[in-house]
Amino acid sequence: MARKKRRSMLYIPGNNPAMIQQAGVYGCDAVLLDLEDAVALNQKDAARILVRNMLQTVEFYDTEVCVRVNNMHTPFGLADLEEIVPLQPNNIRFPKTESVQDVKDFMKEVRRIEKEHGIKKPTMTIHVMIETAKGVANVYEIAGADPRIDAITIGGQDLTADMGIVKTPDGVGIDYARKRIVMAGKAHGLDVLDTVFADVNDEEGLREETEYIKKIGFAGKALINPRQVDGVHEVFNPTENEVRKAYRVYSEFIRNKNAGIGVFAIDGKMVDAPVVQRAITVLEYANIDLKEIEESVAS
Amino acid sequence: MTPKFKAQAGTFESSDIMVLIEPVSEEAGRQIDISSTVMLQFEDDIKNTINQVLDDLDIQNVHLIAKDKGALTPTIKARVEAAVKRSLGIQEGTM
């Protein structure tokens, strides 16, 4: 099965029924139904009830559905889990994770609720958000704190606030954090997802930032407006040239593998396992079925 | 259960519904007043949905006013539940 793409993850305020009911048609890879920062303090109960009802009814098609709950140190976090965990959305996003203990406390509640609801084979995965200097310092241990974590993400707005700096368009203040989080996530085989780009009118700025975060290893980006989806996809989608090259690399790899040859050359350049792995990633992003290539080589 | 306080949930935005709850005396029964942008076609459906939530929450005596802007069934259910719980003083996990 092709890996799930997470190029674009669109935040949708949890108290906005119009946006939630349309979430499956925005074309993003995932929606983040937000019970945290996008919901006013006096509407937390209404948003939680609305998201619970919508999850049971709305068709999200093949869009991955993630719910961002409130932190467990707030009065809302546990109440969010009690309502959302029984419904097993694709993932739950856990904000402001600062330590392994935070993850353990959170997962203890998740597992208790699953047990109480008779969920024996939970499918929901966890996304941890790193949004404080302490979280950045502990990120490697956090990323490996539980086997159900399958993505790690940086919250740029809160992180800059915690660091006492201004978030600038060049992102220089969070650059170290971005790279540290990428390395920690990669070390544990997780998807690493970038923070939002707040200026929805600056399409060029969004493109530049997306190109940069792609280069340093992020698998995708959080978005705050459906208008940002296409721009981000254009950056993450491979070019025709890249796809052709990857197709050729993978075909040759299969042909040589069938002949018992490990390392080979294409146009005088050595092709080894890392080159093949990069080709596979390109083909997956292009929605090309590897099995079809394998079958066409065999025939 | 009988609502104790005036309460509301929802908004006047498109695809939402504003639900207001007013306490009434015991044994006054249910009074449900609906206005909707899709009244002609969906009044009965909206009323049935509201009654279903009130049944689930065991609310027999209440005056409920709903101003609908084309909300889907899950939105109607959510707003009625939120308004009723607020009127009962059940507001866990909010401020």
Mean pLDDT by 10 residues, chain A (299 residues): 81 97 96 96 96 97 96 94 97 97 97 98 97 98 97 96 92 96 97 96 96 96 97 94 95 92 89 92 90 88
ipTM of the complex: 0.94
C-beta atoms of A44 and B15 within 8 A: no
- What residues pair up with A34 in beta bridges, in sequence order? A13, A68
Q: Side by side, which strands form the sheet with B30-36? A: B7-9, B17-22, B62-68, B30-36
B92 falls in which pLDDT band (50, 70, 90)? low
- Considering only the beta carbons, identify the residue of A18, A44, A56 that sits closest to B15: A18
Q: Is pLDDT at B95 greater than 70 in this prediction? A: no
- If we measure between CA atoms, which residue out of A257, A131, A277 comes closest to residue A194? A131
> Residues A102, A104, A109, A111: is their CA dihedral positive or negative?
positive
- For B8-60, the pLDDT digits (tens) are 999 999 999 999 999 998 889 999 999 999 999 999 999 999 999 999 999 99
The whole-number pLDDT of residue B94 equals 52
Structure tokens of A32?
């983040």
B75 in reach of chain A (CB within 8 A)? yes
- Considering only the beta carbons, identify the residue of A17, A41, A48 that sits closest to B71: A17
- Considering only the beta carbons, identify the residue of B71, B74, B77 that sits closest to A58: B74
Other residues' Cβ atoms within 10 Å of the Cβ of residue A2: 14
Which residues 32-71 in chain B show a CB within 8 A of chain A?
71
C-beta atoms of A46 and B82 within 8 A: yes
- For B74-84, the pLDDT digits (tens) are 999 999 999 99
Close Cβ partners of A138 (under 8 Å, ≥ 6 residues apart): A98, A99, A100
* Amino acid symbol at A95: P
From chain B, the residues in CB contact with A17 under 8 A are 13, 15-16, 71-72, 74-75, 78
C-beta atoms of B77 and A53 within 8 A: yes
Q: What is the CATH number of domain A8-236?
A: 3.20.20.60
Domains of chain B (ranges; CATH) run 7-88 (3.30.230.10)
The whole-number pLDDT of residue A297 equals 87
A76 in reach of chain B (CB within 8 A)? yes
**Chain A residue nearest residue B70, CA to CA:** A18
The CATH 3.20.20.60 portion of chain A extends over 8-236
C-beta atoms of A79 and B79 within 8 A: no
CA distances from A103 to A21, A77, A119, A135, A148 (A): 31, 13, 20, 11, 11
Tell me how far apart the alpha carbons of residues A151 and A193 are, in angstroms, rounded to a whole number: 7
